[in-house]
Every structure is written in structure tokens, then in C-alpha cells.
């Protein structure tokens, strides 16, 4: 029996872990002659490494005689279940530099497609809104309506200035005369100011002034008409002084420059039926 201090050591003093790394090469006879001789010397004194070499040889022999080793059934079933969870589409790369699709690229494509669709919708809405936006109507009758209004002699004061849709607010007094009558038609607001035979009639109508009014008006009634933004004002009075005084007290805003979005908004409102 070998005593511990008399047991032979590996020639180069390396432990079992070093030799186990060369077991496969030793069994396959692919190890260098020098290292093979040193390992044989180690195996002669190390039963654990010798048993590992023997086990390796038996496994090699078993694989040569029995062919391929079948995987355990549980492992095969697991692999099949994993394969069934995979997408059915097989992606193929056209060249070595092409990259297969990824979730990030798919999100980018979806984002780009969404932005493109929204852009197309916005452009379509702008074109439709611009096309459908109604132009301001040409106003030709405001002055004639004012003249006709001025010819009315009020019987009693029935106007309520607090129920007035007029742009300038239907003041209760104009050119020193009180508001006595208020009428709202389909496209205009008509106001009548009168006292002691003096009369001032005002017409406020949305649109663009086309001319001073139709021919054949009563020459005894002084009439004025002008553009106030997108509203046409016409004033007729029993005297030129009253007409000019009323005209000076009414608003005179410049014609607004309509922006693209304002016109598109008008067109979309028309499309929506508003």
C-alpha cells in the first residue's frame, strides 16, 4: 500500500482539473505525445481521472454502436410546443447585408404610414374646405332697403335694443334720434330712428358692397352706403345732415384679410351644414 507521502505526483505537478480538460483529446488520441505521456503517468496514480477516461471511452463506444441518441420524450414535446408558438411567416433575406424585420422597424413603418395618412387627410380637408367656402355675397339692395325703411313713418316706439343681433349693438339713439323700430330679415338687420318728422334708417347686411344701390331711388331721401369689414352698412335719412351724422356714429372697420384657415373653417362649416 502506498503511503500518502510516497504516492507518485504528476510529472509537472498539475492537479486533476488540468488533466480533466484533456480527457476527450486523450481518448481520441489527438493529444500531443509529450502531454499524452504525462497524462498516462497521472492516470496510473489517480483512480478518479482514470474512471473518467474509462467513462468517456464507453460513451464513445456506445455512440458508435447504437447510432444517434434520441432525445428524451419530454424534451421533444417541449421543442414542438415552442415551435408551435412561433409565427408561421418565414422571413428570407435577399442578400447578406439585408436585415430581418424587427419590432422596432415594424413600429417605424406603422408610424410612418400613420403620419402619411394623417397628412393626406389634412390636405384633403384643406382642399375641400377652401373649395366649399362660400364667397361673401354681393350686396346691391342695402341702400334701397334703407330708403324704403326711411319712408316708413313710425306709429309707436316698439323697438327693444336689448334684443338686437346687430354688429354695432343697436344703440338706443343715433344722430340724436331714438330707436323706434327693429326688424330682422333673412339676411339683414333694419333699424329705424325717428322723432318729430326726422327719420334715419339703417341697414346692416353681411357681404360685399357691389354698388351704391339700384337706380330710381327717391331723391328726396339722402342715402349713404359703405363697407365695414365683411358687413355692408346703408343709411338713409330725411336730410343729408342726419345721414352724415348717423354715418359718422356707425363703425368703419377695414375689410379683413381672410387667412387660409379662416376660409377653410368656413368651408368645413358649410360641409357640416352649419
Q: What is the pLDDT of residues 4-14, one digit of tens each?
A: 444 445 444 45
Q: Give the chain's mean pLDDT.
A: 76
- Looking at the whole model, is its pTM more than 0.85? no
Across 99-103, 136-140, 208-212, 242-246, least confident range: 99-103
d(CA 161, CA 124): 44
Residue 237 near residue 150 (C-beta atoms within 8 A)? yes
pLDDT surpassing 50 at residue 182? yes
Q: Which of 129, 164, 137, 174 is nearest to 270 (CA)?
A: 129
213 Cβ neighbours under 8 A, 6+ residues apart: 140, 141, 142, 143, 144, 147, 223, 225, 234
Q: Does 133 or 51 have the greater pLDDT score?
A: 51
Kindly report the CA angle at 35 between 34 and 38, in degrees rounded to 5? Answer: 90
pLDDT band at 139 (very low <50, low <70, confident <90, very high): confident
Q: What are the cell numbers at 46?
A: 489517480
pLDDT tops 70 at residue 2: no
pLDDT digits (tens, 9 = 90+) for 25-35: 888 888 888 88
Amino acid at each position: 500500500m502506498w503511503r500518502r507521502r510516497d504516492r507518485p505526483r504528476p510529472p509537472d505537478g498539475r492537479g486533476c482539473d488540468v488533466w480533466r480538460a484533456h480527457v476527450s483529446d486523450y481518448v481520441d488520441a489527438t493529444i500531443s505525445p509529450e502531454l499524452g505521456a504525462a497524462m498516462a503517468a497521472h492516470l496510473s496514480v489517480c483512480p478518479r481521472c482514470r474512471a473518467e477516461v474509462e467513462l468517456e471511452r464507453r460513451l464513445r463506444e456506445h455512440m458508435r454502436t447504437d447510432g444517434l441518441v434520441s432525445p428524451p420524450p419530454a424534451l421533444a414535446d417541449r421543442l414542438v410546443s415552442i415551435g408551435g408558438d412561433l409565427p408561421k411567416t418565414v422571413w428570407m433575406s435577399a442578400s447578406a447585408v439585408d436585415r430581418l424585420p424587427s419590432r422596432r422597424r415594424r413600429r417605424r413603418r406603422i408610424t410612418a404610414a400613420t403620419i402619411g395618412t394623417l397628412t393626406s387627410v389634412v390636405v384633403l380637408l384643406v382642399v375641400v374646405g377652401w373649395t366649399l367656402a362660400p364667397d361673401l355675397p354681393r350686396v346691391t339692395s342695402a341702400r334701397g332697403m334703407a330708403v324704403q325703411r326711411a319712408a316708413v313713418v313710425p306709429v309707436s316706439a316698439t323697438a327693444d335694443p336689448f334684443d338686437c343681433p346687430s354688429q354695432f349693438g343697436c344703440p338706443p339713439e343715433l344722430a340724436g334720434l331714438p330707436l323706434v323700430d327693429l326688424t330682422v330679415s333673412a339676411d339683414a338687420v333694419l333699424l329705424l330712428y325717428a322723432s318729430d318728422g326726422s327719420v334715419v334708417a339703417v341697414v346692416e347686411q353681411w357681404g360685399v358692397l357691389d354698388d351704391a344701390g339700384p337706380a330710381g331711388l327717391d331723391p328726396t331721401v339722402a342715402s349713404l352706403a359703405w363697407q365695414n369689414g365683411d358687413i355692408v352698412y346703408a343709411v338713409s335719412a330725411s336730410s343729408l345732415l342726419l345721414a352724415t351724422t348717423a354715418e359718422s356714429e356707425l363703425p368703419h372697420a377695414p375689410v379683413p384679410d381672410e387667412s387660409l384657415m379662416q376660409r377653410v373653417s368656413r368651408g368645413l362649416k358649410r360641409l357640416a351644414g352649419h
